[in-house]
Amino acid sequence: MTGLRRDRLVQGWIALQGLSQAGDAVWTVALAWTAVQVASPAVAGLVVAAGTLPRAVLLLLGGVVADRLEARWVMLVVNLVRVGVLVATAVVVAVHGASPALLALAGIGFGACDAVFVPSAATIGRQLVPPEALPTYAGASQTVNRIGSMSGAAVGGAVVATWGLAGSALANAVTFGIVVGYLALALRPRYPLPRAESEPVLRGIARGFAHLRDVPATRTLVLTLSGLNLALTPALALGLALRVQESGWGAHTLGLLNALVGLSGAAGALALVRWRPRREASAGFWFLVLQGVAIATLGVGTVVSTAVACAVIGATSGAASALLSAVFVATVDGEYLGRMASIQLLGDDVLMPLAMVVFGAVASAVGVAAACTAFGLAMALLMAVPLSRPSIRAISLQREGTLA
């Protein structure tokens, strides 16, 4: 990895992120498969989605924790709790068998852990590498994470078929245990962030929203990044499936198209390890304009043109995510970084169900092509907001630009 080639500490952390993603993917496949075996489709859907509510409720608390406590210790403790949830689930399944209630409790436990873990994890890159190396770090991290997720999903079915939910839970517990060991014994922050003052949680949350109000460039980044997946996820999760179904291309084609998105996404993120635009934020948002155009074309044409659109969507997603996550982490005030990350994630979590419903309603009323066009063009137009801001266009981490 250019810029990180000799940094064994960071390389080890990135590799373990991929391992953890693989373990999570194995667990996710096992949870969904077991849910449909022991419950009706409606109940299974509730079980799989059980973790989203506690995550949404606790995310802002997680942001306050991330800004007040050392990220490494927060991540370590949360991963220990995850190990406990997984081991307890495996034991109960071995003794009493799986049940919808048990699966829901496990999902709720993971959702609560995610709410505390993710804001702290969002700050760790800035504590490991200097600002100018963050795009390389983000590109490498996202590449490894995507490969880990794809690999875990690919073997997850075989794991649950062979060892059941208990075996899948223990496999994921092992990956978290390895991460805990690395956090405890090896990972050491090099660039400490300023810590927020100790105050009541609600006041800390309010102070985070006040910071969002008072710093225009931060507000633009947070609000724009909150809306990115609202076009992409419905188009890929629902629109692509409807497109394949109405064209009669078969389920195998849907699998190949989704795999193409994942592989091109990894390639797009990997490209950022070796290639760096001078203005990272501007380049990232222009990539997303192109992605919006590709989403708009997803519902028309042949299987070949649909495959090209999927490849463009994946590549631009990987490249833009690496660039914009680096810009976000490098330029937001370190004292508020965890809270800004939690607000951004909360917007995505809260609005995504609505976006899925709206996409489905539009597709039902006027067709999949119209829904994809509307959502894709809306995304491309949304990018005009940050691209119109001189303070965003001027950001260059190569000269350690900061937000105004």
**Is 392 within a domain?**
yes
**Is 219 within a domain?**
yes
Contact yes or no for 31/89 (Cβ under 8 A): no
- Give the CATH number, domain containing residue 161: 1.20.1250.20
Query: Rounded to whole angstroms, how far apart are CA atoms 124 and 378?
Result: 33
- What are the distances in angstroms from CA 96 to CA 88, 90, 99, 267? 12, 10, 9, 44
Please tell me the total number of residues recorded for the chain in this structure. 404
Kindly calculate the radius of gyration of the chain based on its CA atoms and give it in whole angstroms. 21
Supply the pLDDT for residue 11.
Answer: 93
Count: domains in the chain: 2
The dihedral built from the CA positions of residue 155, 157, 158 and 159, taken in this order, carries a sign that is positive
Q: Are residues 142 and 223 in the same domain?
A: no
Q: Which residues of 5-31 are buried (b: 16+ CB within 10 A; e: fewer)?
A: eebeebeebbebbbbbbbbbbbbbbbb
Q: Are residues 152 and 207 in the same domain?
A: no
Q: Are residues 129 and 241 in the same domain?
A: no
Q: What is the reported pTM? A: 0.88
Domain stops at, among 153, 185, 217: 185
What SS3 string covers the chain?
Answer: CCCCCCCHHHHHHHHHHHHHHHHHHHHHHHHHHHHHHHCCHHHHHHHHCCCHHHHHHHHHHHHHHHHHCCHHHHHHHHHHHHHHHHHHHHHHHHHHCCCHHHHHHHHHHHHHHHHHHHHHHHHHHHHHCCHHHHHHHHHHHHHHHHHHHHHHHHHHHHHHHHHHHHHHHHHHHHHHHHHHHHHHHCCCCCCCCCCCCCCCHHHHHHHHHHHHHHCHHHHHHHHHHHHCHHHHHHHHHHHHHHHHHHHCCCHHHHHHHHHHHHHHHHHHHHHHHHCCCCCHHHHHHHHHHHHHHHHHCCCCCCHHHHHHHHHHHHHHHHHHHHHHHHHHHHHCCHHHHHHHHHHHHHHHHHHHHHHHHHHHHHHHHHCHHHHHHHHHHHHHHHCHHHHCCHHHHCCCHHHCCCCC
Q: Are residues 228 and 277 in the same domain?
A: yes
Domain carrying residue 32:
8-185
Residues of the chain with pLDDT under 70: 1-3, 399-404
**Is 116 within a domain?**
yes
**Is 115 within a domain?**
yes
Q: Are residues 256 and 391 in the same domain?
A: yes
Contact yes or no for 329/314 (Cβ under 8 A): no
**Is 93 within a domain?**
yes
Q: Are residues 224 and 309 in the same domain?
A: yes
Supply the pLDDT for residue 403.
Answer: 47
Spatial neighbors of 99 by CB under 8 A, at least 6 apart, are 38
**Is 283 within a domain?**
yes
Dig out the tokens for 172 from the structure: 């994921």
Q: Are residues 21 and 63 in the same domain?
A: yes
**Is 404 within a domain?**
no
Domain stops at, among 185, 218, 242: 185
